[in-house]
Amino acid sequence: QLQNINNMQDSYRFLTAKDSINARKAALLAFVLMLIGPAIWFLPPWVTAVMYPDAATVHAAELGKKAADAVYLVFVENAMPVGMVGLLMSAVFAATMSSMDSGLNRNSGIFVRNFYAPIIDKKADDKKLMRVSQLVTMCFGGLIILVALFINSLRGLSLFDAMMYVSTLLQMPILVPLFFGIFIKKTPDWAAWATLVVGIVVSYLVSFVITADVVANWLNLETPFTGREAKDLKVLLGIMGHLFITGGFFCLTTKFYKAPVGERKQELTEFWDDVATPVIEEAGQDEYDRQQRNMLGKLILVFGALVTLMVLIPNPFWGRMAFVFCGAVIVTVGSLLLKSAKQADKLTASTAS
């Protein structure tokens, strides 16, 4: 996560903060949440494994070898009140959409601004670029759907393993130069692309050459790795390979660095100056923030009230209290946002008077 969030590609998320101070606060909040998150994410499957030993086979008829992906569903079905499955699905779709829409916009923007505009159509106006961006977004969305269908067709590969492989073997070769490049600036212009090629080779070796059986032979193990151990080993080898080999190659490219001259020197100087320049809050930004908090607080209050109404679903007392708790948490967040908006409004009014 340290590498996935803090790199030149995903740094756009900090641009949504109103200034550099709030961007740092957002980064710190993400850091704290990422420390807490794994315990929350993995607690349900851990509990399910203890309470329901056959959880990995409950939905085998529908999912086959991927039945283990349904452990969250088994947990909710057996340990949660009636109606919680719907709330779980709503949260899953909301979390997916919140990441997917920003990812699609980011990728289409990168393609249009860094490839289409400067190479294919240098004279395109903003209206045409917008149309091209919409078309590219649709194409990227279709590709994502096709990839999802392909992953679903791999009956022997669980969703968790698929995500680990994608992030380790496919994403890391791209992220290594984007992450290392923030700190190591004196590299030749070809360093990023060359590092990507090296990363692809490393991923290929880990995927098809240095298999679990090969490692077992190297270590002279009498008992081969289990299926679970083999999958974990592939992820571990991918992480270590990209950290030391791919990252090491990027560092070694500094030996071929030559100080840029002319137009290229000016481009790099302006770029790093922009990166180092702190963003200062613009005049009137507080009013926009107050309006956003006010609107968002009201929406969250409505959502909290709707969740609380799920207490009417026939459930035992503890089940009804579960919905009361969920609704109370949501309503509390909405109330705090509204309170903050009102305090900002009073402060603005007193300052104006």
Distance of CA 42 to the CA centre of its chain: 17
pLDDT confidence of residue 348 = 62
Domain end, chosen from 281, 296, 311, is at 281
Residue 164 lies in a domain: yes
- Contact between 338 and 299 (Cβ < 8 Å): no
Identify residue 195 by its one-letter amino acid code.
T
Residue 339 contacts by C-beta under 8 Å, 6 or more apart in sequence?
A: none
Instruction: Give the whole-angstrom CA distance, residue 15 versus residue 82.
Output: 41
Instruction: Give the whole-angstrom CA distance, residue 191 versus residue 250.
Output: 6
Q: Are 240 and 227 part of one and the same domain?
A: yes
Residue 229 lies in a domain: yes
Q: Are 264 and 348 part of one and the same domain?
A: no
How many domains does the chain fold into?
A: 2
Residue 120 lies in a domain: no
What is 66-93 written as a DSSP string?
GGGGGHHHHHHHHHS-TTHHHHHHHHHH
Q: Are 253 and 271 part of one and the same domain?
A: yes
Q: How far is CA 227 from CA 54, 128, 212, 214, 231, in A?
A: 18, 51, 9, 14, 6
Q: Are 178 and 272 part of one and the same domain?
A: yes
Residue 23 lies in a domain: no
Q: Are 294 and 266 part of one and the same domain?
A: no
Instruction: Give the whole-angstrom CA distance, residue 295 versus residue 290.
Output: 9
pLDDT confidence of residue 298 = 93
Domain containing residue 330? 285-352
Q: Are 163 and 236 part of one and the same domain?
A: yes
pLDDT tens digit string along 293-347?
899 999 999 999 999 999 999 999 999 999 999 999 999 999 999 998 887 666 6
Which of 166, 171, 170, 101 is closest to 137 using CA atoms? 101
Residue 335 lies in a domain: yes
Domain end, chosen from 246, 261, 281, is at 281
Instruction: Give the whole-angstrom CA distance, residue 187 versus residue 349.
Output: 52
Q: Are 305 and 266 part of one and the same domain?
A: no
pLDDT confidence of residue 329 = 94
State residue 159 phi and psi, 5-degree precision: -65, -40
Q: Are 239 and 164 part of one and the same domain?
A: yes
Residue 72 lies in a domain: no
Q: Are 173 and 225 part of one and the same domain?
A: yes
Give pLDDT tens digits along the chain (353 positions). 777 777 777 777 777 788 888 888 888 888 888 888 888 888 888 888 888 888 888 887 777 777 777 888 888 888 889 988 888 888 888 888 887 888 888 888 888 988 888 888 888 888 899 999 999 999 999 988 888 787 777 666 666 667 777 777 777 888 888 888 888 889 998 999 999 999 989 988 888 888 888 888 888 888 888 877 888 888 888 888 888 999 999 999 999 999 888 888 898 899 888 888 888 877 777 788 888 889 999 999 999 999 999 999 999 999 999 999 999 999 999 999 999 888 766 666 666 65
Q: Are 295 and 343 part of one and the same domain?
A: yes
- Does residue 304 sit in helix, strand or coil? helix
Residue 99 lies in a domain: no
Residue 183 lies in a domain: yes
Q: What is the DSSP letter of 18?
A: S
Per-residue burial over 302-325, b if 16 or more Cβ lie within 10 Å, else e, is ebbeebbebbeeebeeebbebbee
For tokens 């995500």, what's the residue?
A: 163
pLDDT confidence of residue 331 = 95
Altogether, the residues listed in the chain come to a count of: 353
- Contact between 192 and 177 (Cβ < 8 Å): yes
Domain end, chosen from 249, 264, 281, is at 281
Q: Are 235 and 181 part of one and the same domain?
A: yes
Q: Are 233 and 335 part of one and the same domain?
A: no
Which tokens is 293 given? 């908090």
